[in-house]
Amino acid sequence: MAHEVETQESEPQPAGIIERLVRDDSDRKQFLKVVGSAGAASFGAFVLAACGSSSKSGTTATAAAAKPAASGNTGDIAILNYALTLEYLETQFYEKVIASGFFSGKVGALVKSFGSQEAEHVVAVKGAVEKLGGTPAAKPTGKFPISSATQVALLAYTVENLGASAYLGQAANIQSPEVLASALAIHTIEARHASTFGTLVKKSVTPDGPFAKPADMSTVLAAVKPFIA
């Protein structure tokens, strides 16, 4: 399996709003002051929307923060915790893949960047649950078979497609339009990860044809059960 992928070099990007809000307490306090009494709910949706968004204009994040989330957000918290569990597992998967040393060069750098993005998903989704007044889901312990570069890439292709389907599968169940838009902001990143691995292992980058297929919670949890210790 080739370990080199042609990628476009990009210039370093300035720290986005997600990094500033997570790391800079003064920025966070200023944001909460601006959104007022709806701050907690809006901030949760805002952080989730910003995670994975590379728009310089911040359009996605602004739209998510424009209106407060629905007051009855218990269902959304449960969905976010479900997403958090998946993000925990994906992050652990990439940590193990990176530690394996199977990938180097441009492919290795790409895998590391994907792992970093999944770790940021964890931070954002966990923060969203807390800001909505919920308790974040406990971190599961993942177990993933890591035997060769080809096997890992195929597994990554499967895992990322499953993640994308999981987010899409909850679209109709999310109460808040803002949280919905935010979840889809991560869904598209999972799908792009999947398509990249599809290219590496010569699989379809659109395995479901012109329309992505959603997966319900029971299907997804059954699929990831073998990867939980």
142 three-state secondary structure = strand
Please state whether the predicted TM-score (pTM) of the whole model is above 0.75.
Answer: no
Rounded to the nearest 10°, the torsion over CA 174, 178, 179, 185 is: 120
Main-chain phi, psi angles of 142, to 5 degrees: -85, 150
Structural domains present in the chain: 73-227 (1.20.1260.10)
Residue-wise pLDDT tens for the chain (229 aa)?
444 443 333 344 333 333 443 445 554 444 344 333 333 333 333 334 333 333 333 333 323 332 333 334 679 999 999 999 999 999 999 999 999 999 999 999 999 999 999 999 999 999 888 988 999 999 999 999 999 999 999 999 999 999 999 999 999 999 878 778 778 899 999 999 999 999 999 999 999 999 999 999 999 999 999 999 9
